[in-house]
Amino acid sequence: RIGSATSLSSAVINTRLQELVRLFKERTEKVKEKLIDPDVTSDDESPVASPAAAVPAPGAELEEDKPSGDDHYCEMLCCTFKSRPWLDRLKSYQFPSSIDPLTNLMYVLWLFFVVMAWNWNCWLIPVRWAFPYQTPANIHYWLLVDYLCDLIYLLDILIFQTRLQFVQGGDIITDKKAMQENYLRSQRFKMDVLCLLPLDFFYFKVGVNPLLRFPRCLKYMAFFEFNNRLEAILTKAYIYRVIRTTAYLLYSLHVNSCLYYWASAYEGLGSTTWVYDGEGNSYIRCYYWAVKTLITIGGLPDPKTLFEIVFQLLNYFTGIFAFSVMIGQMRDVVGAATAGQTYYRSCMDSTIKYMNFYKIPKTVQNRVKTWYEYTWHSQGMLDESELLVQLPDKMRLDIAIDVNYNIVSKVALFQGCDRQMIFDMLKRLRSVVYLPNDYVCKKGEIGREMYIIQAGQVQVLGGPDGKSVLVTLKAGSVFGEISLLAAGGGNRRTANVVARGFANLFILEKKDLNEILVHYPESQKLLRKKAKKMLKNNNKPKDEKGGPGDPLIIPPKAGTPKLFRAALAATGRMGGKGPQGRLRWRLKELKAVQE
């Protein structure tokens, strides 16, 4: 028994030692990979629980499965989700000490409420002043909404505007006192204070006159700031611009209708044929008259009194000016929205005119048109470099990393290289669109580019006829990378590569990589070493190895039988005399010539 126990303990110790040796080897390999390629993940692994600790005792329950007293759970369908009560979340919420006005969506949402309050004042103050819609019976509803808008104005001044970050000397200022002083010195603060003038105290003397709230319309800066922030986050901002321009026209008609009702009430409702007769919905009828006047449709009754003539002349002049401004602004908005489409059409028309002048065949012209249409609809532009050339170098790098780094980092040739070298390489990638059945590269060509498939598929053709599909490469695949480092005039392509459908590829040219490697000698040595290894491991085509169609000077012979080799060896030990010795010498000569 003692011997069996000793052997069992020695076996356990031996197993444990072997496990430790294996773990040390794995860690050593990870450290080597980390030194070669800094992009690999950390070698720290989460501890693995032992089987004994993972299995609970009989009748026991894991502590983590028990909901604690402080946790709150809500049941939905067949699942249970941990959640905190909304009151606790509200209590734990901390308002930010500083707000970035350019990127903070919460600030844009707040500006929306400020603009809604501003629109309430701009649209309804003229209505309440001109039309008899504000009565003693409903005055408390109007005042309630008025002072709610004033509260929004006040919160905007005290809470939001004093926390806005600003740039000074190239630095983003987030100090609370500095932000408050910057707001107090700004023109925005003066207009915000002016729009909250407490003219409402005159209500006690002259009554509730809506014109006393006219300064509330001076908070127009919040409206224009909201437009800028909203257009920055919208994907199709031109739609909002069209809606906003239309709202300008509707508001001008709204104000004109209010003025017309005021003029009619001043002259006396129904006193002449020109004024409003007081029948039907007063606002709708006055708005109809304003539309006919501002758009100069005509068909209106002639004014009778001097007041009516002057009012109508001013209406005509204002209508012509306002309508022409609105038409011009709408043209600019639509023109800016379709600027890219206009550029695309002009480029395509110029290309078609050029091909017709030189009498290019129709098949080629159709392929050119197809390329234009597909490139425009897939990318929204004809050349991506034209868009990125306006950006600073750092921003171009950030965009290139987001678009291409995940693909390039998977290329075996570039693994272990300097990360900055890969970043420089990303900026040199060029996007090219290939049509169906277009040859990306042909067999026998000198390879000077590497290709990365962004979208679409390509087929590698080979076989005796050169038309058999050897493999189909999909998005994310890379081919032609060895050609970038091949010496001696370049590496020849060993197969035809054809686009199966529409394929969008990224191309890295050899000269661009050579310009980059000048600044990274260590990466250049590593790439040369990897390229030689990959070229050595690659299978050569049959015509390079010597196919059946290439006749040899001495055809290969079958291997010498073992018994015959033994006899030859025995003959050699005997001095090599006799016919067997001469035969052995002859075979050696033939073997030397064949080699």
Determine the Cα–Cα distance for residues 552 and 550; give it in Å rounded to an integer. Answer: 7
Sorted by sequence, the CB contacts under 8 Å of residue 6 that are 6+ apart come out as none
* Residue 586 confidence class, pLDDT cut points 50, 70, 90: low
Which carries the bigger pLDDT value, residue 45 or residue 174? Answer: 174
Q: Is the pLDDT of residue 122 over 60?
A: yes
For residue 436, pLDDT beyond 50:
yes
**Maximum average pLDDT range among 197-201, 404-408, 539-543:** 197-201
Secondary structure of residue 63 in the 3-state scheme: helix
pLDDT > 70 in the chain, percent: 76
* CATH number given to 238-382: 1.10.287
| pLDDT value, residue 34 | 62
- Over range 402-406, report the average pLDDT: 78
Residues near 429 by beta carbon (within 8 Å), at least 6 away in sequence:
400, 404, 408, 452, 506, 507, 508
Q: Is the pLDDT of residue 39 over 50?
A: no
Q: What pLDDT does residue 555 have? A: 45
CATH topology of domain 391-539: Jelly Rolls (2.60.120)
Give pLDDT, residue 548. 42
Place of tokens 């003959």: 571
Residue with the two structure tokens 């079958």:
558
Q: Evaluate the CA torsion angle 31, 34, 40, 45 in order and state its sign.
A: positive
Tell me which residue of 337, 324, 316 sits closest to 243, measured CA to CA: 337
- Where do runs of H (alpha helix) occur along 380-482? 384-388, 393-408, 419-426
Q: Where are the domains of the chain?
A: 95-233, 238-382, 391-539
User: Which pLDDT belongs to residue 323?
Assistant: 80
Q: Write out the two tokens for 391.
A: 């950006």
